[in-house]
Chains A and B, each alone.
Chain A
Amino acid sequence: MSTPSLDTSTAVPTRPPAGVDFGHRTFVLRGARFGLRWRARTLVVVTVLAALTAAVTTWALASGTYPLTPAQVWAALMDSPDAGFARIVVVEWRLPRALAAVVFGAALGVAGAVFQSLTRNPLASPDIIGFSTGAYTGALIVIILTGGSYLQVAGGALVGGIATAAMVYLLAWRRGVQGFRLIIVGIAISAVLGSFNTWLMLTADLEVAMSAAVWGAGTLSGSTWEHVAIGGAGVAVLLAAMAFLAPGLRQLELGDDAAMATGARAEPVRLAVIVIGVALTATVTAAAGPITFVALAAPQIARRVARTPGVTLVPAACTGALLLAASDLIAQHLLPVTLPVGLITVIIGGGYLVWLIVHEIRRRA
């Protein structure tokens, strides 16, 4: 069992020898067993993103049919004795949903970054392994056959998603899982399930089909403290595990040969990382439905804003959190009609990605 130590990390070729100027400032943190090196721009970007997320969350906590000032929100959060009714509104009613947006957004951002790094393909997201489609199939069956409570639908989604992901991994397994084969098998299985979903929607009654479509778009409207506690704990454990695997993931980006030459064990790391990526998506999907675009867009947006050479986990997590929190604020309060948050993430995430691409091209030209 290898523990992450300075010895292995010095073998990573991206690490510059002391005293060489690579053109951007870095912060280095060295411990006995851990080394951490962050570029200054990444650090600033992460701080700004976190601050923006906090601001958006405060705004979401303050708005609604019982409007509050930021000061009242703060008092309620700090459990000050004169908060009164505001405490119930903020802590009991609004906080679960706002927290769910932040936590689930971060989880989706990391899941997307993991899969894009693993397959070295900017189109990859946990969807390629069929999870979202499978989860939708599971949920559709529960909704259409039984009507389904929140927990039953979540259970159906989990079973459907995990069964699909396991099936894709097993079918792609042939003396190890190669990234390209995983993508193709994932697409094939997703296409089959997607067809099945379309057929289920066609056969269902109009009202049932529409409520299923709302779930399928991804919505946070059912969030309670119970769901957030379960989901949040799951996400926290998974993100902590991911932090340990991150160096190995970076090594895998060099290709299996180079990764193994620099001390990573390619196949176990890949399996562990896939499991964590799928588990993150599973947690979010079970609680809120398949909110698809965050996982695809957040790593790409983060990469461009932080100007890192590849996709990176922490900026992707912060971008995902901000994207989902802001989208939920818009979906809930800023539009004349109430829409599932998944539609807003798609529209603003996609729109921002288009703008970034145009901007990037113009700068290069």
Chain B
Amino acid sequence: MVSGTHAPTAPGPGANGAPVERRPVASSNSRRFLGLLVAVAVLVVLALVSVAVGSKNIPLTVVLAALADHTGQGDAYVVWDMRIPRTVTGLCVGIALGVAGALIQALTRNPLADPGILGVNAGASFAVALGVAVFGVSSISGYVWFAFAGALIVTVAVYVIGSAGRGGADPVQLTLAGVALGAVLGGIVTAMVLLDPQAFDRMRTWNAGSIVGRGWDILLPVLPFLGIGVVLSVVAATALNAIALGDDLARSLGANVTRTRIIVIVAVTLLAGGATAIAGPIGFVGLMIPHIARWLTGPDQRWILAYTMVLAPSLVLAADILGRIVNRPGEFPVGIVTAIVGAPVLIVLVRRRRASGL
């Protein structure tokens, strides 16, 4: 174990005067890079396993052969038309949720913040419930645009409420506004579905969060939005390092706090809104992966983002694979498994090391 004599690598005092063990697992850039390579390797393995495992198992050699074979017969059909879209969906959703979580935690300087805090999930589920109960929508491709539109509108509303006044968007106000508005919408959704059994039935399926049956026709139109979100997050990473020191200090260091906030919120909306539109609400990934990344790398947002982009899709894919294996030939939706897979890891981490501040 590292002793408290090392220079702390994260800002902020120890909460109760215990010796501060703040050195991250990977404490030099070369180690961080090595760790990232290992994580990428794990992700590649998980992606291959995700293509191979399911109610019909396909040996890895056959998978590799099928990747070259584009005839669309037998195993190649399963690989190309079912498993690969599902795996790609998992990758995209994982990256989007993880990055959105890392951004929102850095922006609000609140480790309790998750992408849902800006009202993304509440807005998406409100719009889907509206679509189901009022317009009778019943297919995934119908839900997508309702969910996306709902997420966008509610996030803008939260931002407008949270940033009214002279100082721009104060993170605490933003968080409270998001929680309050999200709760109101959640209450209305529950009221709507309790009065309409059919809507209740559809919403409980959508609410579980799943990446099954999302074909290219659902994935491709949303992908550009996710791409813009990832690019914006990379642009904002350096400025977020300054914002971690507090708004005043960040300004005096030359960071443009307001511009960074707007970039980050646009990115979070696109990423979390897009992911929720594709898969329904998947919790825990955006909340927890950034914590794990921070423990591994220390407080530099650029490394946190890089690790998050690899670890988050790994969690989603691992959870999805596990959901297929445990309950054969049935499946657990991935949104149910993510927490069950991720929570023990998190508890072990939080018990082993002191939680790193933001």
Q: Which residues of A come within 8 Å of B, CB atoms?
A: 121-124, 171-172, 174-176, 178-181, 183-185, 187-189, 191-192, 194-196, 198-199, 201-202, 206-207, 209-210, 213-214, 217, 255-257, 266, 293, 296-297, 300, 337, 339-340, 342-344, 346-347, 349-351, 353-354, 357-358, 360-362, 364-365
- Give the interface size bracket for B toward A: 35 or more
Given contact pairs A188-B288, A188-B346, A213-B194, A199 touches B180 in the complex (Cβ within 8 A): no
Given contact pairs A171-B347, A198-B207, A123 touches B179 in the complex (Cβ within 8 A): yes
- Least Cβ–Cβ distance between B197 and chain A, in angstroms: 6
The answer to whether B165 touches A210 (Cβ under 8 A) is no
Cross-chain pairs A/B with CB under 8 angstroms, 10 sampled: A123-B110, A171-B351, A195-B340, A210-B194, A297-B180, A340-B194, A353-B176, A357-B173, A357-B177, A365-B164
Name the B residues within 8 Å of A174 (CB-CB).
351
Pick from B112, B204, B333: contact of A121, CB under 8 Å: B112
Name the B residues within 8 Å of A214 (CB-CB).
194
The answer to whether B184 touches A346 (Cβ under 8 A) is yes
Pick from B165, B187, B190, B333: contact of A364, CB under 8 Å: B165
Given contact pairs A191-B283, A199-B332, A357-B173, A184 touches B201 in the complex (Cβ within 8 A): no
The answer to whether B339 touches A339 (Cβ under 8 A) is no
- Least Cβ–Cβ distance between B319 and chain A, in angstroms: 10
Whether, in the assembled complex, B335 has its beta carbon less than 8 Å from a beta carbon of chain A, the answer is: yes
The answer to whether B18 touches A175 (Cβ under 8 A) is yes
Name the B residues within 8 Å of A257 (CB-CB).
16-17
- Least Cβ–Cβ distance between A179 and chain B, in angstroms: 7
Nearest-CB residue, chain A, relative to B349: A184
Q: Which residues of B come within 8 Å of A, CB atoms?
A: 15-18, 110-112, 161-162, 164-167, 170, 172-173, 175-177, 179-184, 186-188, 190-191, 193-195, 197, 200-201, 204-205, 207-208, 283-284, 287-288, 291, 332-333, 335-340, 342-344, 346-347, 350-351, 355
Q: How many A-B residue pairs have CB under 8 A?
A: 172
CA distance A124 to B167 in the complex (A): 25
The answer to whether A202 touches B112 (Cβ under 8 A) is no
Nearest-CB residue, chain B, relative to A124: B112
CA distance A183 to B113 in the complex (A): 12
CA distance A187 to B290 in the complex (A): 14
Name the A residues within 8 Å of B172 (CB-CB).
122
Nearest-CB residue, chain A, relative to B319: A195
Name the A residues within 8 Å of B335 (CB-CB).
195, 198
CA distance A340 to B283 in the complex (A): 25
Given contact pairs A187-B287, A199-B336, A178 touches B165 in the complex (Cβ within 8 A): no
CA distance A358 to B333 in the complex (A): 39
The answer to whether A195 touches B337 (Cβ under 8 A) is yes
Name the A residues within 8 Å of B342 (CB-CB).
188, 191
Told that A194-B339, A202-B208, A210-B200 touch, could you supply 4 new A-B pairs with CB distance under 8 A? Answer: A123-B175, A180-B355, A188-B343, A354-B180
The answer to whether A357 touches B340 (Cβ under 8 A) is no
Name the A residues within 8 Å of B208 (CB-CB).
198-199, 202
Pick from B166, B179, B204, B337: contact of A209, CB under 8 Å: B204
- Least Cβ–Cβ distance between A144 and chain B, in angstroms: 13
CA distance A343 to B194 in the complex (A): 11
Name the A residues within 8 Å of B187 (CB-CB).
293, 342-344, 346-347, 350
The answer to whether A178 touches B177 (Cβ under 8 A) is no
Nearest-CB residue, chain A, relative to B352: A174
Name the A residues within 8 Å of B164 (CB-CB).
358, 361-362, 365
Nearest-CB residue, chain A, relative to B117: A123
Given contact pairs A174-B351, A180-B111, A357 touches B161 in the complex (Cβ within 8 A): yes
Nearest-CB residue, chain A, relative to B18: A175
Name the B residues within 8 Å of A340 (CB-CB).
194
User: 6 tightest A-B contacts by CB?
Assistant: A346-B187, A191-B339, A365-B165, A361-B165, A350-B184, A188-B343
- Least Cβ–Cβ distance between B159 and chain A, in angstroms: 13
Nearest-CB residue, chain B, relative to A187: B287
CA distance A178 to B18 in the complex (A): 11
Name the A residues within 8 Å of B283 (CB-CB).
191, 194-195
Name the A residues within 8 Å of B204 (CB-CB).
198, 201-202, 209
Given contact pairs A180-B355, A199-B336, A354-B184, A206 touches B197 in the complex (Cβ within 8 A): yes
CA distance A360 to B177 in the complex (A): 12
- Least Cβ–Cβ distance between A259 and chain B, in angstroms: 10
